[in-house]
Amino acid sequence: METFNEDWDSALCVAAHPDDLEYGLAAGVARWSRQGKTVTYLLATSGEAGIDALPPVEAGPLREQEERDGAARVGVEVVDFLGMPDGGLEYGRDLRRAIASQIRLRRPDVVFSLTHRERFAGGGTNQADHRHLGLATLDAVADAGNRWIHPELEDQGLRPWSEVRQVCFAGSAEPTHTVDVSETFEDAVASLEAHEQYLQGLGSSYPSPRELLSTILGSQAHDGLGDYTLALEVFEV
């Protein structure tokens, strides 16, 4: 695999739920924040259906705050939420428009998300929200640059943005590029640990943040790089 090109200044990370970005991608975010790059987060849902012991009206605000806390630990100051239904994301014009609007607003060089493929790198089945969100993100990048798709966005002052260079997916079973995240591994652990109540809701048998990230990022390590590597499937735009 190739070494990921870091010759860019700003990025938008798009995910379906709070905690999605923390399962590996946040290690890269911490690295890029240290380099002085601007990274912003966009969450399609508030993860309100993610804690069995809490009703959505309580879980949603709690998980939003945990996401803000986790983002801060890797240098991200801006975290936006679209307020779409957890477990009910559907690929289509509405989701593409919502993501395209944020791409036009933030005007990033690079966009990151979770894989839209049916299986993760480890072989596990990828859930519907992730698949629909990832594919919509890939298409929204093109939408953002075309003034005739979602023309109402320009009426809102969101001018077309066609300068996204790459769309990059973490967790893919078909990665193409690598990033050495050994120096920011601890930042990534701290970011996932911020999701304390969500992780508690998964039960005591669930692996700790350190164990999870050691498995995810350690298994992706390659000769010539450090102990921990973030693997990305990169689509050139």
Parent domain of 208: 2-236
The pLDDT tens digits of the residues spanning 7-16 come to 999 999 999 9
- What secondary structure, in 3-state letters, does the chain show? CEECCCCCCEEEEEECCCCHHHCCHHHHHHHHHHCCCEEEEEEEECCCCCCCCCCHHHHHHHHHHHHHHHHHCCCCCCEEEEEECCCCCCCCHHHHHHHHHHHHHHCCCEEEEECCCCEECCCCECCHHHHHHHHHHHHHHHHHCCCCCCCHHHHCCCCCCCCCCEEEEECECCCCEEEECHHHHHHHHHHHHCCHHHHHHCCCCCCCHHHHHHHHHHCCCCCCCCCCEEEEEEEEC
Give the CATH number, domain containing residue 60: 3.40.50.10320
Q: What is the pLDDT of residue 75?
A: 98
Percent of the chain predicted with pLDDT > 70: 97
- The stretch 46-74 carries a mean pLDDT of 97
How many distinct structural domains can be found in the chain?
A: 1
| pTM confidence score | 0.96
**Token representation of residue 107:** 């005007």
As a whole number, the mean pLDDT across the chain is 95
